[in-house]
A = this chain, B = another copy of it.
Amino acid sequence: MSQPTITAADLQAQIPRIFAPWIVALDLQVLRAAPGEVDLSMPVHAALVHVGGVMCGQAAMAAADTAMVLAMMAQLGEFRPMTTVQLNTSFLRPVGGPRCEVRARVLRSGKSLAFGQIDIFGEDGRLAVQATTTYALL
C-alpha cells in the first residue's frame, strides 16, 4: 500500500502551518490518527467560555471543521487544498470542561467531494456536539 502514513505528531506539526492563528490558539492536541480518522483533545480555555459558563458553540464548530481537515490529511496522506462546502452542527449538551474530545471520521472520500462526521464528547464521555460536513477537493 503506497499511501504515506501520517502520524499524530505529523498532524500536530502541521497545525500552525495550515490554520489561521485564531484557530491555532484553540490549542488542539492530536491524540490519535489513522487513515481518515483523528481524535483531538481540546482544552476549554477561559477565553472560550461565554456568559453562561460553558464553552461557546463557536469553538465547537471551529474544532469540528479543523478536525475534519486533519482527518482528510490522514485519509489522503498529505495536505491537499480543499474547502469546506458546508458544515452542519447540532448542539446536544453544553461542554463544561476542563477538556473535551473531538473525533473526526471521513465517511466518504471521492474524487472531488468528501463527507465527514465529527463528534465532540464532554469530560463525562457523553456526546455533546455532532457535526456533519462536505468538503470539496480543489
Contact = CB atoms under 8 A, between A and B. Distances in A.
Contacts of A25: 22, 47
A132 B88 CA distance: 9
A9 interface: no
Contact of A20 (B59, B66, B86): B59
B59 A65 contact: no
Contacts of A115: 90, 92, 130
Contacts of A88: 86-89, 132
User: How big is the A interface, by class?
Assistant: 35 or more
B81 A93 contact: no
A134 B35 CA distance: 27
Contacts of A21: 46-48
Nearest to A65: B58
Interface stretch (A70-78, A96-104, A105-113): A105-113
30 contacts: A18-B51, A20-B49, A20-B56, A20-B59, A21-B46, A21-B48, A22-B22, A22-B45, A22-B47, A22-B48, A22-B59, A23-B50, A58-B58, A58-B62, A58-B66, A61-B62, A61-B65, A83-B91, A85-B85, A85-B86, A85-B90, A86-B90, A87-B89, A88-B89, A88-B132, A90-B115, A90-B132, A93-B108, A112-B112, A132-B132
Q: Which 4 A-B pairs have the closest CB atoms?
A: A58-B62, A88-B88, A20-B56, A21-B47
